[in-house]
Structure 1
Amino acid sequence: MDIERLLAGPGDRTAALATSHGLGAADAAVRVAEAERIHEERDDLAGKLTRRWGAPEHIGLQTVRLRTASEQIPAPWAELSLRVGDVYLWQVAEHGRWVALGVADLDPDDEIELLLVVTETDPP
């Protein structure tokens, strides 16, 4: 993963760093095991990013998700809140960016993904 490339240039970027395969219709126990594995990958990567940028905030996105029904939530936060329950969040001041790391596992019909989001937009 080339984080410097994701941090460069304007706009938002979302990278799927790991993705399950064929779990949309999988047995619930298989899905749970895969979700646990991807959450472990998230925690391992969070440790590496913490060594680089310091301790992250750990924020839940449920409130943001609920607010999308009545408010205009900016990208990429609105979409992220519909897919991810919580994120580790770093403000990378030298790049003027936010970096969010979370697991997209809210929709049982979708694949599970480890997502890294880079944005200039402050979290809501």
Structure 2
Amino acid sequence: MDVVARHLAAIDRLRARDLPPGGAGHHTVELETGRPGTASDDFHALREAMAQRLGARWGEAPPWGQLTLRLRLSRGERIPEPWATLCLRTDELDVWRTEEVWLAVGVADRDEADAIHLLATVTRTPPP
């Protein structure tokens, strides 16, 4: 199984997990982790390959830049989870709404001292 197919299978398992009833709640998993100092280009290429396959399933969606959410947070606005944490960890996300659940995939590479992570999140909370 190729790496993209393996990560898509993990996303399918993530989407099948129960979320707390009533709207709030989310699950975030690290699909892949690099070592500190790893170039992020490979992670971004992998995210883009996954976005192409997921886009074929649920429709094409342009990446969501996270700068506006970071600015809103810095001004004291309350941003719901998981979006607040994701905007601090990623520069952009690929986001789809599938049935009653939102799916976001992104590369957490904003902290140079931390390892790079390919993240997937499912939530019932819509993006702000």
TM-score range normalised by the length of the shorter chain: 0.7 to 0.9
Deviation per CA, 1:32-56: give whole Å up to 9, x if none.
Answer: xx20011111111111111111112
Point out where structure 1 has 5 or more consecutive residues left out of the alignment: none
Aligned residue runs from structure 1 range 74-113, under 5 A: 74-92=80-98, 94=99, 96-113=100-117
Deviation per CA, 1:82-105: give whole Å up to 9, x if none.
Answer: 00001111111x2x0111111111
Question: What's the counterpart of residue 38 of structure 1?
Answer: 43
Displacement over 4 Å in runs of 4+: none
Question: Secondary structure, in 3 states, of the residue corresponding to 1:85?
Answer: strand
Q: CA deviation at 1:109?
A: 0.8
Point out where structure 2 has 5 or more consecutive residues left out of the alignment: 1-8, 20-24
Aligned residue runs from structure 1 range 1-124, under 5 A: 1-8=9-16, 9-10=18-19, 11-21=25-35, 23=36, 26=37, 31=38, 34-69=39-74, 70-92=76-98, 94=99, 96-124=100-128
Instruction: Find the aligned partners of 2:123 and 2:62 in 1 and give their Cα distance.
Output: 16
Instruction: Find the aligned partners of 2:42 and 2:11 in 1 and give their Cα distance.
Output: 22
TM-score, normalised by the number of residues in structure 1: 0.84
TM-score, normalised by the number of residues in structure 2: 0.82
Percent identity between the two aligned chains: 42
Tell me the matched-pair count: 113
